[in-house]
Amino acid sequence: MTRWTLVLAALAMAGTMPLLADGVEAAAEARPVKQSIAYGEDPLQAVDYWPAESASAPIVVFVHGGGWKRGDKRMMEGSDKLSHWHALGYAVASVNYRLVPDATVEQQAADVASAVAALKARAGSLGFDGRRIALIGHSAGAQLVALVGTDPAYLRGAGLSFADIAGVIPLDGAAYDVTTQPGAARMEMFRQAFGSDPARQAKLSPTLQAAAPNVSEFLVLHVQRADGIQQSRDLAAALERGGSHVTIEGFPGRGLRGHMQINRELGDPDYPATPVVDAFLARIFG
């Protein structure tokens, strides 16, 4: 039973709304209505937006993973993340970006920044507080949000600055420093995304771009993957040297299963990363 079904069942028992036989229709009625917003001419340059109940709510902007060459914003639909963040009173957005090999990682990071700019420009009409934006990404999305949060060129290119982002949460990335990623030389996924030029790899590595300034608040989360642990630690250390306030925390889960679990189960109150993210968002949103 989903969080929405449980909540609606409780409301029905209290006599505040009718309980339908299976709860599905009632849950659907209570979910926020999604809007899709284009931020570029390519069909993949689009973001889905779910409003909060309050027009002054903060917004959580999520960037999907998929090895830089797959994935979709629709992965947010029906997720624990969406229902949980909405229950906390936040607006939620899920970003699509152009994919490798038709686009470069540089273009993907620019897409993320442009999506944030498009949302912020519409904050009044969409109904959220454009001064309180959190950027969260998983896997390849973690590398992209970390890059946007460390290299000022991407937000600047979209007419924004680091001050427009309240905080960044990279979830279990392993490409924060591509130059030291063991898989970069042997895995086709990394070769397609980052090529073989060390100078380009360094430019696309958030750890190597984390000299001040950066977004002021980071929460770096990882599961028990050796490369993800080391890459996360190195990123956190570089961010701290750059002056950001950084929290880093690891969670159970090994290999690909753990890597997928942190994305799939985030928002479930029983998953240990959920209260950590909740506390971070509550603090940066004030």
Alpha-carbon distance values, 172 to 34, 58, 78, 132, 281 (Å): 27, 24, 22, 24, 18
In the structure, what pLDDT confidence band is assigned to residue 185 with cuts at 50, 70 and 90? low
Selection from 13, 14, 15, 9 nearest residue 27 by Cα: 9
- Span 120-141, average pLDDT: 98
Instruction: Name the pTM for this structure.
Output: 0.89
Cβ atoms < 10 Å from Cβ of 142? 32
Specify whether the CB–CB gap between 175 and 203 falls below 8 A.
Answer: no
What pLDDT digit, counting tens, does each position of 162-180 carry? 999 999 999 999 999 999 9
Specify whether the CB–CB gap between 58 and 166 falls below 8 A.
Answer: yes
At residue 71, the pLDDT reads: 97
Residue 34 has pLDDT above 80, yes or no: yes
At residue 208, the pLDDT reads: 98
Selection from 149, 134, 167, 158 nearest residue 242 by Cα: 149
Q: What letter does residue 274 receive in the DSSP assignment?
A: H
Q: List b or e across 245-275, with b for residues whose CB sees 16 or more CB atoms inside 10 angstroms.
A: ebbbebbebeeeebbbbbbbbbbbeebebbe
At residue 187, the pLDDT reads: 84
What's the Rg (C-alpha) of the chain? 19
Residue 18 has pLDDT above 90, yes or no: no
Q: Backbone phi, then psi, for 132, in 5-degree steps? A: -125, 90
What pLDDT digit, counting tens, does each position of 230-251 carry? 999 999 999 999 999 999 999 9
- Which residue has 């990882």 as its token pair? 222
Tokens of 17: 């709304």
What pLDDT digit, counting tens, does each position of 186-220 carry? 788 999 999 999 999 999 999 999 999 999 999 99
Separation between Cα atoms, residue 247 and residue 226, nearest integer Å = 19
Residues of the chain with CATH 3.40.50.1820: 33-285
β-strand partners of 169: 136
Cβ atoms < 10 Å from Cβ of 13? 10
Return the CATH number of 33-285, one of 3.40.640.10, 1.10.3720.10, 3.40.50.620, 3.40.50.1820. 3.40.50.1820
H helices of the chain, in order, are 3-13, 24-30, 80-87, 105-121, 123-126, 140-148, 152-157, 188-194, 198-203, 226-241, 255-265, 273-285
22-26, 140-144, 222-226, range with the lowest pLDDT: 22-26
Residue 1 has pLDDT above 70, yes or no: no
β-strand partners of 245: 217
3 state DSSP class of 77: coil
At residue 22, the pLDDT reads: 47
At residue 184, the pLDDT reads: 75
Residue 6 has pLDDT above 50, yes or no: no
What pLDDT digit, counting tens, does each position of 54-99 carry? 999 999 999 999 999 999 999 999 999 999 999 999 999 999 999 9
Q: What letter does residue 204 receive in the DSSP assignment?
A: T
Question: How are beta strands 217-224 and 245-254 bridged, if at all?
Answer: parallel
Tokens of 89: 């009173």
At residue 19, the pLDDT reads: 37
Q: List b or e across 233-242, with b for residues whose CB sees 16 or more CB atoms inside 10 angstroms.
A: bbbbebbeeb
Cβ atoms < 10 Å from Cβ of 98? 16
